[in-house]
Structure 1
Amino acid sequence: MTRYDVSNEAIIAATPAEIVDAFLEEAAGRSQWWQPFVRMSRRGARPLPEIGAAVDIAVTGGGRLDQRWLTTRFSERVTAFDPDRRLVLEVFDGDFRGTEEWTLEPVDAEHTRIATRWRTDPQGAVRLAARFVDVPGSYSKVMHEGFCAIERFAARRRAESQA
């Protein structure tokens, strides 16, 4: 059985509140800072980060969401949320099953240590493709692109609010 347990971490120039805001804006479809690597759309009526709220996610390590054979799709629901500290998501449908956890730890007034842990099993065709693709490496690439994108998004929002 293929099972992934992948952790990623970075220190970025953004506060925990700015990081949560960026994630929620992206999940609600009000921003596109993580594209072309990730596209999220809310599933159902519950807004994130409410417990039970769900989001559909399309991810491509190659940066082109229009290529089905390079894109994985799955759905996650919020199982735990500690504002500005921790978000836990259950991966319950699509190409993976498992959990994803985001933790935020302030380093100083302007920087945050952001960490993710992705514990999943591939499903269906992805289980077969996983034999030929570096899934953990692709996941890490997408997450690090996301960390950089969050930092840019937060800086832009800060500049807009000061203007």
Structure 2
Amino acid sequence: MSIQIFILSKLMKGNSYPYELEKQLSNPVPLNTFAGLTESKLSYHFESLVKQGLIEPAGVMIEENSSERQVFAITEKGREELPKRIYRLLDGAKNITDMVLGLANLKYVDREKVVEILKQKLESRIARRERVEEIRRQAPIDKENEPLVDLIGKYMKTKGEHTIEWLEELIEEIRQGHI
């Protein structure tokens, strides 16, 4: 879904084709390599989006010393679908990294709806932290494993606290219009 959100968001800005998007991802930092995105993988997703009626062929581009390349445009159905996919991405995100593409495309969604999704995630994280603390207080710990249990507990607590703080900051930044 993330690749298709990426494609749809790029086509909101103007017509394009797989090779052009792959080139954009490679400069100045080779994000295409980090994400494992190749022109063929992008082409597959372009074809899938055409089948879904979210994009359509819009012409042919001939680059110097290259073959013809099919250029695509987003359809009205694609414009309507993009925000829905961004909401689903944010709602289903398991961690902060999963949210990046959705957050990079906030201009296509209702910011208040995004804030509500993030507030639910924040409340869920706070409730989870409390459940873990309660379990930790009640669980008997074998003395032999106590150092390991304490170390893992500290790691989990630090990670959870960081996520809570980050979500609080993110919500505030979106509310203030900084993001």
- TM-score scaled to structure 2, two decimals? 0.24
Structure with more helix by fraction:
2
- TM-score scaled to structure 1, two decimals? 0.26
Q: Which has the larger radius of gyration?
A: 2
Structure with more strand by fraction:
1
Q: Which has the higher contact order (CA 8 A, sep 6+)?
A: 1
